Structure 1
């Protein structure tokens, strides 16, 4: 038993320490949907490094040129070129850059230079109350999945699975970015015929494989499977009740995809879904594992028994173009055609 005097001492110390800790809102407080303001020409974009380090200044210059090419103004975070091993500086410093830009009235959006690894490490140090009070566009993919989901889970802010600074920014990618974030369009997204297949009688690339036909509606949640598996059970994983979940990955053996989907299944997350999309698993395969399951077999094992509309092969992942998808917005999917329809603008 704790002596009353000790209890009062602990309580007093707690009251002093609590204001110094990063503010967390929790999923109950973040249940309301929050939309950032749309981008306007001439807006300022804060360039951040929440994950992997940038080792060459030239890469930062390339990102700044891309931002200017979009008609926007780049602004560098104080620690954007910091290095701590493979990370872009210390966790608290990377988080401080994000907090600072959310507090900066001049900044309209936050754009990471790259993914790699490290976004999950900054989540405990973000000021979620400040973020909720100053909703802004946050966009990225791959490891940035943790940042997108963590912010959405804690604040209700719609975030965006889309390009980061060092992606290609070719017209097909830039078009989606502009339509969603500048124009506030509610897009219908479907695979297009690859350039290599234009002279074929049938498409070979970007093919849709329906796991379970049908339509489903729900809040869009998703991103990189490896990153999502790493935050399962934390307060930074959004509630998946009635959600449409999309997943993608890169460079993973099939048994690892199986293992991570099993983790989601055992955590009860798959049972909550209204719909499911698996995008691209670039450079994923059995390798030298003779007799491996295929990706299709793994998805049949885990997803088909759910009985929800589901398909694989969506043009989402570590592929070009990187489409801009709203995390937390309401969507409608059709699993036979392999289409995803935004039911609302994702920006205000």
Structure 2
């Protein structure tokens, strides 16, 4: 692998012909583009999964949104709590529906992840959501919403930091490029600052070299596999799957990738980007099983498609904003993701 010297390069890269998703009858449908964000826009804050119990933390979230030049609007049930959830299922779903019906709201930020997005999917008004394309921004458990929107709403969303994330420079630059500028950047991991003869931090590992073009679909591996067998997963035929996870032992990653394989998802793909897997290691003193890279090698190499590991996607302080549903080209040998079409209109 080569050292990565630029975090975001090549704004205004080549546009590509849009590979359109299929409807239930097999006909091609248009991927719709939500409006881009502009300074002064009002954006909604929702908690579709876990709750935030500290008022100061929510105040910081609102300050973060304001620092972006945007105006935060809290959902009616933002401070609700029901067990480990931010309100009952229908309440959290009602907040999502309300934000997409509100003409004053231009985009919707998830404050945090946790667990619970899948529970609200049956209560979402996808006719209403489809009629009002707006960027949805978030990651981790928000994967359930990204996948459901890709399957049923037909417009791009952004797998990127939650509103309560740290929003370092790389995260902010990446998000602004996609959501405000409508740019088509090339993502590659930055040069690490560790004082070593050979870079070790933020390296990528290639399982199969080559380039692949396809629709970006994915998110958190655990959440994605939990949607298998439901109507809330889009068609992965010809897609580039990007996945990440946290706090999962190697055998559980193995189990989930096996499920994607047995379910026919992996066999449909054009390429794979496995991002960050934070703390995905069995630290038991007697553990002598497969490493994470060995598990990935076993599943990805036999696919015969471009695949690499290590992109800054996932539970890390800085992460790329990935436009879910948009066309992209990956170069597995270089460890790059080239966005080929604007995510916004």
TM-score when scaled to structure 2?
0.91
Per the alignment, residue 71 of structure 1 pairs with 69
Per the alignment, residue 248 of structure 1 pairs with 244
Distance 1:257 1:337, change over 3 A: same
User: 1:322: how far off?
Assistant: 2.2
Please point out which of 295, 298, 308 is paired with 1:298.
Answer: 295
Q: Which has the higher contact order (CA 8 A, sep 6+)?
A: 2
Per the alignment, residue 179 of structure 1 pairs with 177
Distance 1:178 1:227, change over 3 A: same
Is residue 315 of structure 1 aligned with residue 317 of structure 2?
A: no
Please point out which of 231, 237, 244 is paired with 2:233.
Answer: 237
Residue 303 of structure 1 aligns to a residue whose secondary structure is helix
User: 1:170: how far off?
Assistant: 2.1
The CA deviation string for residues 244-277 of structure 1, in whole angstroms up to 9 with x for no partner, is 0011100010000000101101101000000001
Per the alignment, residue 47 of structure 1 pairs with 45
Q: Which has the higher helix share?
A: 1
Q: Where in structure 2 are there 5+ consecutive unaligned residues?
A: 1-21
Residue 35 of structure 2 aligns to a residue whose secondary structure is coil
Please point out which of 268, 275, 282 is paired with 1:279.
Answer: 275
**Equivalent pair of 1:221/1:244 in contact (CA under 8 Å):** yes
The CA deviation string for residues 55-84 of structure 1, in whole angstroms up to 9 with x for no partner, is 111111111000100000000100001000
Per the alignment, residue 126 of structure 2 pairs with 128
User: 1:31: how far off?
Assistant: 4.2
User: 1:287: how far off?
Assistant: 2.5
**Equivalent pair of 1:220/1:330 in contact (CA under 8 Å):** yes
CA distance in 1, matches of 2:191, 2:122: 42
Per the alignment, residue 206 of structure 2 pairs with 210
After alignment, is 171-180 or 96-105 more displaced?
171-180
Is residue 340 of structure 1 aligned with residue 301 of structure 2?
A: no
The list of structure 1 runs, each at least 4 consecutive aligned residues, that deviate by more than 4 angstroms after superposition, is none
Please point out which of 79, 83, 88 is paired with 1:81.
Answer: 79
Please point out which of 103, 113, 120 is paired with 1:115.
Answer: 113
CA distance in 2, matches of 1:320, 1:54: 19
Q: How many residues align?
A: 321
CA distance in 2, matches of 1:152, 1:97: 19
CA distance in 2, matches of 1:159, 1:124: 19
Please point out which of 142, 145, 153 is paired with 2:143.
Answer: 145
User: 1:148: how far off?
Assistant: 1.1
Q: Which has the larger radius of gyration?
A: 1
Residue 117 of structure 1 aligns to a residue whose secondary structure is coil
TM-score when scaled to structure 1?
0.90
Per the alignment, residue 16 of structure 2 pairs with none
User: 1:32: how far off?
Assistant: 2.7
What is the RMSD computed on CA atoms of the aligned residues?
Answer: 1.3
CA distance in 1, matches of 2:167, 2:215: 27
Per the alignment, residue 260 of structure 1 pairs with 256
**Equivalent pair of 2:245/2:276 in contact (CA under 8 Å):** yes
